[in-house]
Every structure is written in C-alpha cells, then in structure tokens.
Structure 1
Amino acid sequence: MKGRILALGAKTTAKRTTKAEKRAETMEQILDAAEYLFSKHGFHGVTLKDVAKRVGVHHTLLNYYFDDKKTLFDAVFARRAVVTIDRRMQALDDYERAAGGKPTVEGALHAFLDTDLDLYIQGGEGWRNYGAFGAQASNSPEGAEFMDKYFDPIVLRLIEILKKALPDAAEEDIFWGYHFVTGALMLTLARTGRIDKLSDGLCRSEDYEAVKARMARFMAAGFRDICNQKRPDSEG
C-alpha cells in the first residue's frame, strides 16, 4: 500500500513538473511573439489578440499570464534588459579597473557598445528582435518610461567613466555625446534596411560585426571634438 502511495506521489510530482515546464514554455512563446510584433509595430500597433494569434492560442490565455498589454510590454522589456545591463555593467567595471585610473573615451565606449553588440552577433534572431524592439520603444513615451527604469544606471555608469576620461570637458557636452551615441545605436538596432539600399548592398543593416568594428572609434572622435580634446597617441 505504501509503495502504491509513493508511486502515486511520484506521478503527481511528474505531472506538476510537466505543467510547470509547459507554462514556462508558453510564457516564452508569448514573450517571443510579443517581442517580434512590438519590434515591428510599436506599442500602439499591437493588441493582445495579435500576440495570441501569432502564438496560436486563444487571446483569453494571455489574460491568465498578463493583466494588460502594458504588463506584457514590461515583461518583454525586462526579460533581456537584465542580461544586457548586467553584462555591460560588468564590462565597464572591468574596463575601469584595467585602465588603472586612466580611462579613455574609446575604451569606455568599447566596453559599453561592444558588449551589447556581441549579444546581437551571437544571440540569434531573438536578440535581434529585442534590439529592434528597444529601438521602437526608445522613441515612444511608453518605451521611454521603461528605458528610464532599466537603463539609467548603466548609462550613468558610462557617463561617470567618460567624465574621468575627459576631466576638462563641459558636463553638458558629455551628455550630448551620449545622446548622439544612443541615437546611432538605436538606428542600427532598428535594422531598417536603409543603409543596404543607399550602399547598393555594400553595407547591411544586420552586419553587427561591421558596426562593432567602427562605432566606438567613430563616436570617440565625436566626443573628443565637441569636448575640444585632442586624441592621445596611445589611446585605445
């Protein structure tokens, strides 16, 4: 009798585990679908029914997981935000330690940008959709709220290092410099295909390796120019 009870308990546990795994799988499918749709159409261009249709479930199921569209939008934003924020914060901390009190603009930008670009290079279509989603979000009031919530600490950490690299620069010039950096990054992540057409295929929107090889150096030159700083011979 005891053996039968134990066996029944084991079966129940197995069923619970399977249900938990199924819920987790469904959640990932919903987030993937929402991420893709938000990346294409923005917050206002997507409904919960659109997401449900892409997943292949009834729209009432989404209400089981999320109270409303904004809750879903937040979940999509947060899922990958914590990954890129942690990676970039670690990269900036590691860079500042390695710089030994003498950080450079280009070095700080490489730590900030390259770490993020590596996710889009190595992370597959999901991460690329998230990049386009972030580009959409950063240009909307709804998205700006989440950008403030999740990304302000990492941006201010970069600004802190840039101030050390450019000690004589006006503070507003450093903030404007960051503004231009993030604008270029968001346009790149949007993958509009415009550069493909303009260059007649010579450059591709999805070529993040090419972006990584150029962006930090290009932006560092801009920082130095607006801050009236000449490039040291040994800067890297």
Structure 2
Amino acid sequence: MLIRGVSLALRLCRFRSSGANPGPRVAVVLSGCGVYDGTEIHEASAVLVHLSRGGAEFQVYAPDITQMHVVDHLKGEPGGESRNVLVESARIARGKILDLARLTAQDHDAVIFPGGFGAAKNLSTFAMDGKDCQVIPDIERVITEFHKAKKPIGLCCIAPVLAAKVLPGVEVTVGHEKDDDGKWPYAGTAAAIVAMGGKHAVSEVDCALVDPENKIVTTPAFMCETKLHHIFDGIGAMVERVLKLTKK
C-alpha cells in the first residue's frame, strides 16, 4: 500500500511539473525563524503544506534586514546577539528564498503572510507602538501593489495588523475581542486594529474571514491557545479561500 501511494505521488508530481494547467503563483513572506522574534514555524509550515496540496506554486521571500532582537526560545528572554531576517527565514524555506525587495505583484497571483512576533517586530513596529506603529517600506509596497492589482492577500495570527495599517478600512480577524476564558491572550489586538482604521470581525480559530471587496483573507491561528490541529485547519481555510480568489 505504501509503495502504491508513493508511485501515485510521483506521477502527480510529474504531471504538475509538466507545465499543464499551472496553479496559482503565490508569494509567502516570512519574518525570521521562531515565534518570539520571527515567523511562527508551525504557521509557515501549514501555509506551505496547504499551498502544495491546493496545487499552487510558491516562492518564499523575506526582508534583508536585522531582526529587532533575538529571543532565547528556551528562556523566553532576549539575548545580546544579532541576526538577519532573510538568513533566519532561509531555515524555514530550506534555503529556497529571495530578498523581499525582489517581490512584485506582477510575478504572482497572491501573497500570504504567516504570523509570529516577527510580523510585529521585524515587518512593523506593532509590538512596541501598537496602533501608532510603522510598517517597513517593502511590506507597505508589497501590500499596496497586490491590493491595487486586485490580487488576494492572506494573513494569519498577528499579521493582519499589517493590512489594517497599510489599507485602512479593510476587515480582518485576529479571533475574539475579549479573553473571557483564557484562550485569547492577545484579544486586545482587535481594538488596535479598529484604532488604526480597520474593521474587526470575531472569528473562531478554525475559520477564515474574507473581505471580498479588498480580497483580504485572515485567520486567528496562534492568537488562540488551542490544539495544533485547530490552527492547521484555520490556516487551511485561509489558504483555500486565497487560492479561490485567484480564480485559477
């Protein structure tokens, strides 16, 4: 049974690489490697798995900049070393990564931003400045380009704050707006999104919210303290809707 399954997988791989019926071309933007100072690795992996399963072709990007700081993930404390966002993101991309400066909407049908504190520390200053944050120029450029081209933008976890800051008026979700049961420790992010001029909709972790007018798709992911498969399912819903919006 295992051999037959492998044989089928190889046949499918050859078919996809033959150039027939190419799937959507999706850019995935990372912000480092590790939840506390970069990209949340489980979220990035889930995005790539769902894109692959959905028949999409993807290219990973990250900015060639220095991280805000480096966190010891065992102790949960910042250390004194310095790391580069592009170099660290290459760990997740298995080395197959390009400088964010090379990303253009012209070359892709959609763009997706996994979460992790890197989105709030390296791609923006949200972790320090909240509603008064700044988004780094290349992230602002990419989001604006895809929006103007009417190409879908997917974001999960804390990353929806990037869209809310760059595109005031968009509707996104980071999950719940109150932490009544201890499952939503970052619920206050919803108020910051509204303060930036965005709209926030309450959503469960295994769901995705679509702003059809702006082609923005968001899901809470690790904004919720829950089991990993719920995170995986929510990201799957987000990716599926992004791919549908490409109409490919």
TM > 0.5 between the two? no
TM range (shorter): 0.3 to 0.5
Larger radius of gyration: 1
With structure 1 as the length reference, what TM-score do the two structures score?
0.33
Relative to total residues, which structure has the larger helix share, 1 or 2?
1
The higher relative CO (CA closer than 8 Å, separation ≥ 6) is in 1
